[in-house]
């Protein structure tokens, strides 16, 4: 056993020694100042590792989290709400014997809250027998009268249960709150574990840590068992969307469990069942693992202004045609008033007191409790009965005189809406802060999932730590860090294998049954990426030619600037007393071009976030590179542009090329990939037509025309191919042949059209006995025919100051491609129909 108190290391020492504070309750150190046995191996290993090496691994861990797309959205930060998940690499260690006691208490608590949920939406015997007063239930807005009598198949209504734990002054774990509506954090726990096992593989392996996989296997098995369709259970994870604080976790769990991630727009009620809108029509959903709060799940019967729910979902739930986990209305279990009566509830429902104690709670709805609370406000934590973003806990010791007066008035005006609890000083654990190990207060969130007979508890859970010693607020919304939680096994753990069989038929069906919202975002992700790349390429080409060895004429400069304006969709600023380079710099310094590029790329990043569950880790790593390069773009152009300004654009072009390559080489050729590639081909074809129209249509001198053809080829990455093929001065016909007619050039107009034709033919068709082509097939055939019947000699022929035939052809093709995009949108993508509540049952204060 290693002593914690050691001689202070010298100024150049790299030793990583934990210096605990004797005045604090510490998880790693006992009353004698010695390390507890289950912490010894970890802290001794970190001491040998040293501060510098640990800091390197901490940096590597943050990079892994960033590459995995692990984010947490902080609502109070409007500038950059999406933050990389923050993790401290020193795990929270719990011994095997202690965990056995905690686990038993958590299992018992989950069983109790399951019985409580059934009673509250059933006979309500607890109220009839006087165990809890009626106001304790009906004062909480989480009790949904519309859900009365709804029960899930089997013995458990409560599928997932979560408890926040702290260690009390007596050294025993204590529950300070329950989460039962849509408990969050399990996915982040798994991500933390994945990072730890990669960054500290030997330390993790040698510590004999209990694995987490079994918990998620039980979750998958339980959700599948709730489906009446036992052969091919159809389960979906319902998320509020990419702006939700824990959206990463929703996508991560959907991926890990193998379920569809859906939003409200993806779902619809028809004929008494819940359906997912997909490319091949409506696909029935049997089980919904929801991450949307109760009130927002049904705009017809619950909150009428909700855009996150599905109209008439409750009707389908009542009919037993869909199972929602956790069931609607389970948010009432988060009512802290129940903690006041929990001993009596346990005796009534279980016949015994709970093993795991709860924090002492006083409810202001009771006269004696209210009197005590009002007299001791500065010694208590005051909590609202119903939590929301605008109604948070208040820390009594920090309240000023005026704040105290206002709080007293609120309590006296509506006493049933407040509870009070003593100030709990959480125990502290070693954490890596500023290059050393310091104590930080800790809260552990546990997770339990129902099984056929009881519950399975995740060994460990999500650990969060405070910003400083004795921090009161420990919350992810305030930026608190997380930790992996290690429950040390007393002996090597037997690996648990997932016994679920993979049904080939259902796997193949999943490739088709993508939500239409997902394929729409993939489609536009392709379009926005290609649109941004076209803008970057023409801008880079303009800089290179304007600053090249051979000076170009004013008319060529003017036409080059016009092409930049057309492709980037920004206003031209060229004037008679201004060179093209000066005008181009003016556009950039004014921000027009940069706004165009950043606007398209931000839209692409949003589409990527909306389809996160379909993208590989390598793909998301490139997407993060694009995000970083985009953030640097404005900085690069904010200073001097005198030296090689095109260099600032290269990282974005390279990252977009990497994204294109990954989608081509890594995505399965399902409908998701087809729509993404269709978006790319449509946009690339449109941009090629615009580039040809801007650079080749004007009739100029031979040297100027050659320069503009060179600019076209350079911007379409075809100049080297042209020189290898033709070995001559750049000409009109040969340039058009390569970028317009050549079906082997992946950046030619013909190539885009042929690829679009193949994609459209492969899309699902509406059964019909008619043999006529669909409108989108006719449109792409017309476009292909127009190209194939074109005469390069006719297109190149000058008609005064321009090539009128070429101009007409390019405008027509651009119009056809735009029309094709609208046809695809109308035919395959979702159009949400608004629902309206017949009776207003919305709480005004929600």
pLDDT at 649: 87
Q: Compute how many other C-beta atoms are within 10 angstroms of the C-beta atom of residue 193.
A: 20
Bridge partner residues of 311 (DSSP): none
Please, what's the b/e burial string for 121-157 (b: 16 or more CB within 10 A of its CB; e: otherwise)? beeeebbeeebbbeebbebbbbbbebbeebebeeebb
Domain boundaries, the chain: 1-213+331-359+426-495, 360-423, 514-764+773-828
Model pLDDT, residue 170: 86
In angstroms, the CA 368 to CA 420 distance is 13
Supply the pLDDT for residue 837: 54
* CB-based contact 278:513 (threshold 8 Å): yes
Rounded distance, CA 209 to CA 460, Å? Answer: 10
Q: Which CATH class is domain 360-423?
A: alpha beta
CA distance 46 to 437: 10
User: Positive or negative CA dihedral for 456, 458, 459, 461?
Assistant: negative
Q: Which residues contact 834 (CB under 8 A, 6 or more apart)?
A: none
Residue 771, phi then psi, degrees to nearest 5: -105, 5
Neighbours of 531 (CB within 10 A): 27
Q: CB of 837 within 8 A of CB of 304? A: yes
Phi-psi domain of 205 (left: phi exceeds 0; alpha: psi -120 through 50; beta: other): alpha
Structure confidence at residue 444 (pLDDT): 96
Within 121-212, residue ranges assigned H as helices are 125-128, 134-138, 186-199, 201-206
Q: Which residues of the chain have pLDDT under 70?
A: 1-13, 75-82, 389-390, 491-513, 572-582, 585-586, 589-591, 637-644, 767-770, 830-846
Angle of CA points 244, 110, 126, to nearest 5°: 105
For residue 163, count CB atoms less than 10 angstroms from its CB and return exposed for 0-12, middle for 13-18, buried for 19 or more: buried
Distance separating the N- and C-terminal Cα atoms of the chain: 54
pLDDT in tens, 358-395: 999 999 999 999 999 999 999 999 999 988 766 788 88
Nearest to 592 by CA among 572, 576, 574: 572
Give the pairing of strands 87-94 and 428-433.
unpaired
- List, for residues 537-595, the tens digit of each pLDDT value: 999 998 888 887 778 888 888 889 889 989 988 876 555 556 666 677 667 766 678 77
Phi, psi for 553 (deg, rounded to 5): -70, 165
From the centroid of its chain, how far is CA 650? 28
- Residue 74 is predicted with a pLDDT of 76
Mean pLDDT rounded to a whole number for the chain? 87
Q: What is the CB neighbour count within 10 angstroms for residue 647?
A: 11
CA-wise closest residue to 286 among 327, 322, 314? 322
Tell me the per-residue pLDDT of 506-537, one tens digit each, with 9 for 90 and over: 444 444 467 888 899 999 999 999 999 999 99
How far are the Cα atoms of 202, 260, 262, 560 from residue 274, in angstroms, in the given order? 48, 14, 12, 55
> Which of these, 349, 346, 476, 490, lies nearest to 37 by C-alpha position?
490
User: Cβ distance 435 to 427 under 8 Å?
Assistant: no
CB 3 within 8 A of CB 39: no
Q: What pLDDT shows up at residue 76? A: 59
**Would you call the peptide bond into 326 cis, given omega within 30 degrees of 0 as the criterion?**
yes
Q: Which residues pair with 83 in a beta bridge?
A: 72
Instruction: Find residue 428's DSSP bridge partners.
Output: 26, 441
- The 10 Å Cβ neighbour count of residue 402 is 8
pTM: 0.86
414 secondary structure, DSSP code: S
């Amino acid at each position: 056993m290693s002593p914690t108190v050691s001689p202070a290391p010298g100024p150049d020492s790299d030793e990583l020694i934990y210096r605990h504070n004797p005045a604090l309750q510490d998880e790693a150190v006992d009353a004698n100042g010695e390390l507890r046995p289950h912490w010894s191996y970890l802290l001794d290993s970190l001491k040998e590792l040293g501060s510098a090496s640990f800091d390197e691994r901490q940096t590597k861990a943050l990079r892994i989290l960033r590459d995995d797309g692990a984010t947490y959205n902080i609502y109070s930060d409007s500038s950059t709400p999406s933050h990389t998940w923050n993790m401290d690499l020193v795990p929270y260690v719990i011994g095997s014997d202690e965990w056995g006691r905690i686990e038993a208490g958590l299992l018992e608590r989950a069983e109790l809250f399951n019985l409580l949920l059934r009673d509250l939406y059933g006979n309500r015997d607890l109220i009839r027998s006087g165990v809890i007063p009626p106001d304790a239930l009906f004062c909480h807005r989480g009790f949904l009268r519309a859900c009365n009598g709804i029960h899930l198949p089997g013995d458990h209504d409560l599928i997932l249960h979560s408890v926040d734990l702290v260690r009390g002054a007596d050294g025993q774990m204590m529950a300070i709150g329950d989460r039962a509506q849509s408990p969050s954090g399990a996915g982040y726990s798994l991500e933390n574990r994945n990072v730890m096992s990669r960054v500290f593989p030997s330390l993790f392996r040698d510590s004999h840590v209990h694995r987490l996989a079994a918990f998620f296997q039980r979750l998958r098995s339980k959700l599948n068992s709730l489906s009446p369709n036992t052969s091919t259970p159809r389960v979906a994870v319902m998320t509020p969307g990419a702006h939700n604080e824990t959206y990463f976790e929703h996508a991560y769990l959907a991926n890990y469990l193998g379920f569809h991630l859906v939003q409200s727009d993806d779902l619809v009620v028809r004929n008494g069942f819940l359906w997912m809108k997909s490319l091949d029509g409506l696909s029935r959903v049997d089980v919904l693992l929801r991450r949307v709060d109760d009130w927002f799940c049904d705009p017809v019967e619950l909150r009428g202004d909700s855009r996150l729910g599905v109209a008439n979902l409750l009707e389908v739930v009542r009919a037993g045609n869909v199972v929602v986990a956790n069931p609607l209305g389970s948010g009432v279990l988060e009512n802290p008033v129940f903690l006041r009566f929990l001993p009596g509830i346990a005796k009534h429902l279980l016949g015994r007191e709970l093993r795991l104690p709860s924090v002492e709670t006083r409810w202001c709805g009771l006269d004696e409790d209210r009197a005590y609370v009002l007299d001791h406000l500065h010694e208590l934590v005051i909590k609202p009965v119903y939590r929301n973003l605008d109604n948070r806990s208040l820390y009594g010791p920090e309240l000023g005189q005026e704040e105290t007066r206002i709080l007293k008035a609120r309590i006296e005006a509506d006493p049933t809406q407040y509870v009070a609890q003593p100030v709990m000083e959480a125990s502290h654990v070693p954490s890596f802060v500023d290059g050393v190990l310091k104590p930080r207060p800790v809260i552990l969130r546990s997770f339990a999932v129902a099984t056929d007979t009881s519950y399975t508890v995740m060994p460990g859970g999500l650990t969060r730590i405070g910003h400083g010693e004795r921090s009161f607020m420990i919350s992810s919304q305030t930026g608190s860090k997380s930790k992996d939680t290690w429950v040390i096994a007393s002996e090597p753990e037997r690996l648990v294998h997932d016994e679920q069989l993979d049904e080939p038929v259902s796997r193949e069906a999943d490739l088709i049954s993508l939500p239409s919202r997902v394929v729409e975002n993939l489609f536009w992700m392709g379009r926005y990426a290609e649109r941004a790349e076209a803008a970057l390429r023409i801008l880079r080409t303009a800089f290179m030619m304007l600053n090249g060895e051979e000076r170009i004429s004013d008319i060529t400069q003017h036409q080059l600037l016009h092409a930049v304006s057309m492709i980037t969709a920004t206003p031209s600023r060229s004037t008679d007393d201004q060179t093209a380079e000066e005008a181009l710099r003016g556009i950039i310094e004014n921000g027009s071009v940069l706004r165009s590029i950043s606007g398209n790329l931000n839209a692409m990043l949003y589409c990527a976030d909306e389809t996160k569950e379909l993208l590989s880790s390598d793909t998301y790593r490139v997407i993060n590179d694009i995000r970083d390069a985009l953030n640097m773009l404005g900085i690069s152009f904010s200073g001097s542009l005198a030296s090689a300004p095109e260099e600032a654009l290269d990282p974005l072009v390279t990252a977009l090329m990497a994204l294109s390559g990954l989608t081509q080489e890594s995505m399965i050729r399902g409908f998701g990939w087809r729509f993404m590639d269709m978006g790319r081909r449509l946009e690339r074809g449109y941009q090629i037509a615009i580039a040809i129209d801007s650079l080749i249509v004007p009739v100029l001198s031979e040297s100027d025309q050659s320069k503009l053809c060179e600019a076209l080829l350079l911007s379409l990455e075809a100049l080297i191919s042209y020189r290898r093929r033709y070995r001559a001065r750049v000409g009109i016909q040969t340039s058009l042949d390569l970028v317009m007619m050549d079906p082997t050039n992946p950046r030619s107009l013909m190539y885009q059209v042929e690829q679009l034709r193949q994609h459209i033919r492969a899309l699902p068709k509406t059964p019909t006995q008619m043999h006529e082509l669909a409108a989108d097939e006719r449109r792409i055939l017309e476009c292909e025919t127009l190209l194939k019947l074109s005469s390069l000699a006719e297109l190149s022929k000058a008609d005064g100051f321009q090539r009128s035939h070429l101009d007409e052809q390019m405008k027509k093709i651009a119009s056809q491609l735009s029309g094709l995009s609208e046809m695809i949108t109308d035919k395959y993508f979702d159009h949400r129909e608004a629902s309206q509540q017949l009776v207003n049952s919305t709480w005004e204060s929600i």
